[in-house]
Structure 1
Amino acid sequence: MRHKLLPALLCAGIVTATGVLTGPAAVAAGSTPSAPGSVSAATDVREQLDRIPGLTVLSQTLKDGFPFYTLTLTQPVDHRNPARGTFQQRLTLWHRAATAPMVLYTGGYSLATSTREITTLLGANQVSVEHRYFSESRPATVDWRDLNVWQEASDEHAVVEALKTVYTAKWLGTGASKGGMTQVYHERFYPDDLDAVVAYVAPNDADNKDDSGYERFFRTVGTPACRAALNAVQREMLVRRDRILPRFEATVKERGLTFRHLGSADRAFEFSVLDQVWNFWQSGTHTDCPAVPDARTAGDEELYAWSLEHGLSIYSDDGAGADGSGPYYRQAAAQLGWADLKFKHLRDVRNHPDIYRPNSVLPADMRTRYEGRTIKDVDRWVTRRGERMMFVYGQNDPWSAERFEPSPHDSMLFEAPDTNHGALISRLRPADRAKAEATLKRWAGR
């Protein structure tokens, strides 16, 4: 169960690894961007944006010398029944040239606007979309049943339709982790919107009852010695619960955290310990293994302090509520699924065997039942019918253990060696990187 800075139960939240710095050197060969700071270019684009129904320009500035706009687009809360009301979805637009490709970026959470890897590679424009019902992109009164993958795909479809009136070159979608999943769902329901999709480290929990891929990952990742050391630390944290829990409670008090949703500090402590090893591999690498303490000899303070710095993320009411990661947990509980690991090495030291699931951290009014038909449909479609889809995964990333399998229709999958949840095309083996970059340029008409 993971997300963002939170753990595994959450899908690796806002992954910024695919964002890169841009500047004059980042302009792709053959691109013809507007002159940096060009008043005429900015004025022309602004006039076109102002003519798009439902689109509002909130601000305009420069980013790396090119016009950068903050926008909102009026969206229906229910695309099947627009009469139910609307909300304002936040966007940003980085304009380099009307003739350049457009990259549609979805972070999957709140608005994230860093320039993405393929944007730089292609010398492209970029529009970034805040996911519905995260942060400010929500109506005054939220019906959480409207937070589903089809409604968000329909939001993005509306964004594409609006901006294609200005940008008529190739469109490519990209995103990492939950953002990558979001792009895949968009492609499934609106396959004519985009010319290609590049999804980084996108989990695919097509069968929520089958977590064998994740179990296999934790039996094989890294070295046997590292796996054994991490499991021993995780187990010892629960064996010494009576001594380490007070330290956890002191940290919680210092940070002003509460656990009304989870129910108690003891439940929150166990939840956090269950996520330790997942988080270690999600954000760390095999080079961190020598620093894992010897659980047989480490003192309580050493064990707790090391854990707090290496994977012991704390789930609290603030982090998992409607204004935090709650919308993600709601999606995981409703459709996206979660990894319900067996934790065989911890069975005799767990107090709360049914706690490791999204509903555990949600407020009562956000909890729901799981519906798996939609994700299974997406999985089948990607494997059989998807076209021009590229998937990039990390060898040592737990989220990459359950993957999308691309179709034979000009689609492909790459694995970056010795990388975690921050896998990039630039971290692929040289031959794979050359193939991926050449494919992207071909898809983009570059």
Structure 2
Amino acid sequence: MRRLSTACTAVLLALAGLVGLAPSAGAATDIKAALQGIPGLTIVKEDPAPAGFRFFELTFTQPADHRHPGAGTFQQRFTLLHRDFAAPTVAFTSGYNVSTAPNRSEPTQIVNGNQLSMEYRYFTPSRPEPANWAQQLTIWQAAADEHAAVQAFKAIYPGKWLATGGSKGGMTATYFRRFFPDDVDGTVPYVAPNDVIDPIDVYNKFLSRVGNDPGCRDALKAIQRDALKRRDELAAIAAVDAAKRGLTFSIVGSADKSLEISVIDSYFAFWQYQTQADCATVPKPGAPAADVYAWYERVESLNTYSDQDLSPYIPYYYQAAVQLGAPEAYDGYLRDLLRYPGADQPKTFVPSSIRLPRFDYLAMPDVDFWVKSRGTRLLFVYGSNDPWGAEPFELGFGSRDSYRYYVPGGNHGSRIAQLPAADAAAATATVRRWAGLPPAAAVSSARSAPAGFPDFDADLTLAGHPRL
């Protein structure tokens, strides 16, 4: 199952007292001292950072339920990459865990700003205890988390704010803007799916036509059928690997079921993270089992749905099963070889101990309608070959100062720097304008990060688990 490469009662902050903490441009206030003055914020530690920056790991006290702020709190993990109090600030989330490396999202690079990165609630350790999944894990609650954080940090960063994220993080940034439209000056969601009406699925139509080489699609389908016909042979190799890693399969039910779902998903996963040039790597049916297994390890591990690999992402699968929606399995051409038809859906990956409420069929249409009717200063980036772009956010009759771009042949790692030159220049100028900055040259697709910075893609995508 693909992982989808979000009026609030805010935290009761003493805002009147915080106003005095906001340094004017050029003030000598130390960032550590400023952070220590934010109620509910704890500096866990300061880590090394590239020259000109300071980098902190933080926790911030959030209500477990923003509608009932007296009903307990939890500590949400943040990181802060600080450059200058007067610089623009980017609120970033992957939609999953927060990275503790000083990565910079592409908008942060474009505006050369500060970056506040947030862990999505229920991704451990940012989980309330006791947990109440149905009440606490919703897109509105997560948006309220981001609202509380942005409002608190505006006390020390009074300049322009942007929100961004990739994949589920792009969805989160969009939901945040829908519920709190005035919190930031612009939103830049990357490769953000928009499953408006869950039972109406357009993904399979997209997958049947993706790319411009029918031979590649045929080769992918052929190796899937070959793998299922040779499932015992491949399962033996997978079992050895699972034993080495201590993997178990109680959530999905068996290693065999994990293998079958992984084979089904490999077609989607290939187009999500590979490029058309990688079609040449697809093994031919009958290739040595070790070679076939190694190819699956690069594209979609046959042990993907082990308990150990699933557990960190259960909050995503829960939300996909009750609010976000998910693509149906693209497996019609495999049906005669399946032992578990219909198993490739989000609820399969949620432990039976977690109750799934009735699906919320209003959540996604509400966001979709807001984007079309009232969305302002939104800039969406998609890849033309990315299956998650099969159902993108659409701009509509009421959208204002908003844009959508496609990277030709792009996958789930698509970004502004990969756009055609004219589009990259226009998108870059728009982001800088929203941040209150003058235009600059278009971002180069070959641009490397400044010394000391990891590649920002490590934060925008989750290559270790080839899902949303």
For normalisation by structure 1, the TM-score amounts to: 0.88
Aligned AA (2:56): Y
Runs of at least 5 residues in structure 2 that lack an aligned partner in the other structure: 6-23, 438-468
Q: Distance in 1 between matches of 2:330 and 2:49?
A: 47
Q: 1:439 aligns with which of 430, 436, 456?
A: 430
Q: Distance in 2 between matches of 1:93 and 1:299?
A: 48
Q: 1:11 aligns with which of 4, 7, 11?
A: 4
Query: Which is worse superposed, 387-396 or 245-254?
Result: 245-254
Alignment of 1:284-299 (within 5 A): 284-295=274-285, 297-299=286-288
Alignment of 1:207-222 (within 5 A): 207-222=197-212
Structure 1 residues 115 and 88, CA gap change in structure 2 (3 angstroms)? same
How far the C-alpha of 1:139 sits from its partner, in A, is 2.4
- Pair 1:173 & 2:163 matched: yes
Alignment of 1:323-402 (within 5 A): 324-368=312-356, 369-402=358-391
Q: Distance in 1 between matches of 2:291 and 2:156?
A: 58
Aligned positions, number: 411
Q: Distance in 2 between matches of 1:439 and 1:52?
A: 32
Alignment of 1:27-426 (within 5 A): 41=28, 43-65=29-51, 66-112=53-99, 113-145=102-134, 146-295=136-285, 297-313=286-302, 314-321=304-311, 324-368=312-356, 369-407=358-396, 408-426=399-417
Aligned AA (2:327): A
Q: Distance in 2 between matches of 1:136 and 1:338?
A: 25
Contact 1:333 1:367 in 2 (8 A): no
Secondary structure (helix, strand or coil) at the match of 2:341 reads coil
Q: Distance in 1 between matches of 2:199 and 2:367?
A: 17
Structure 1 residues 335 and 207, CA gap change in structure 2 (3 angstroms)? same
Q: Distance in 2 between matches of 1:44 and 1:252?
A: 50
* Residues 424-443 of structure 1: per-residue CA shift (max 9 Å, x gap): 10000001001101111111
Q: Distance in 2 between matches of 1:55 and 1:248?
A: 45
* Residues 372-431 of structure 1: per-residue CA shift (max 9 Å, x gap): 211110011111110000000012111121111124311010001122111010000001
Contact 2:264 2:330 in 1 (8 A): no
Secondary structure (helix, strand or coil) at the match of 1:68 reads strand
Aligned AA (2:35): L
* Residues 158-205 of structure 1: per-residue CA shift (max 9 Å, x gap): 001101111111100010001111000100000010110000011111
Who is 1:20 aligned against? none
Secondary structure (helix, strand or coil) at the match of 2:70 reads helix
Contact 2:207 2:268 in 1 (8 A): no
How far the C-alpha of 1:97 sits from its partner, in A, is 1.3
How far the C-alpha of 1:67 sits from its partner, in A, is 2.1
Runs of at least 5 residues in structure 1 that lack an aligned partner in the other structure: 2-8, 13-31, 35-39
Q: Distance in 2 between matches of 1:156 and 1:214?
A: 33
Contact 1:33 1:96 in 2 (8 A): no
Query: Which is worse superposed, 59-68 or 396-405?
Result: 59-68
* Residues 188-241 of structure 1: per-residue CA shift (max 9 Å, x gap): 000010110000011111111122234323323241000000000011111222
Report the RMSD for the aligned CA atoms in angstroms: 1.8
Contact 2:92 2:163 in 1 (8 A): yes
Q: Distance in 1 between matches of 2:225 and 2:247?
A: 24
Secondary structure (helix, strand or coil) at the match of 2:30 reads helix
Contact 1:214 1:402 in 2 (8 A): no
